[in-house]
Amino acid sequence: MKPTASKASAAEDRPVGDGTSVHLGPLAELVGYSLRRAQLAVFQDFIVKMKDFALRPAQFSVLAIIQANPGLKQSQVSEALGINRANFVALLDELEHRNLARRAPSPDDRRSNALYLTPQGEAFLAEALQHLQTKHERRLEEVLGETGKRQLLDLLQKLASLG
């Protein structure tokens, strides 16, 4: 650790479990690396806070998208979330098994399935969202500040539409 710890230099080192401080070198200034580190920390907090719901971030996102777009096709949901097909099928199998979501033949494309929440899924998602907002998202807002969260979402939106 450097003796003159400024805000910037604090981010250049990363402590690991055995007390060693690992220098990040050029990584500390790269957007992609910083995004990944933040995402891992935020997902970890999500998983811990949502333990009683046995809900991973991707499962939550799928339920939320289905609720906001009932009847959407499987392929549209997986594309909107950037989840690859194989992982998405397994994820959906689990949500069906837990009786939270269901597949039904798509009215306008017989080769494709349309997705819906079950009544149980609707109730589960409402409760999960409430818990998420008060336990997880509020914690992030404390860390970022209200203005900081707004700035962050705007900047992330710019990156998401990079393509």
Task: Give the footprint of a second copy on this chain (CB under 8 A).
Answer: 7, 10-11, 14, 16-18, 20, 22-27, 29-46, 57, 61, 64-65, 67-69, 72, 76-77, 79-80, 82, 129, 132, 136-137, 139-140, 143-144, 148-149, 151-163
Q: Least separation, in Å, of the C-beta of 10 and a second copy?
A: 8
Please, which residue, 97 or 140, has the CB nearer to a second copy?
A: 140
Between 76 and 118, CB nearer to a second copy: 76
Q: In angstroms, rounded to a whole number, what is the distance separating the alpha carbons of residues 153 and 84?
A: 24
CB of 135 to a second copy, least distance (A): 13
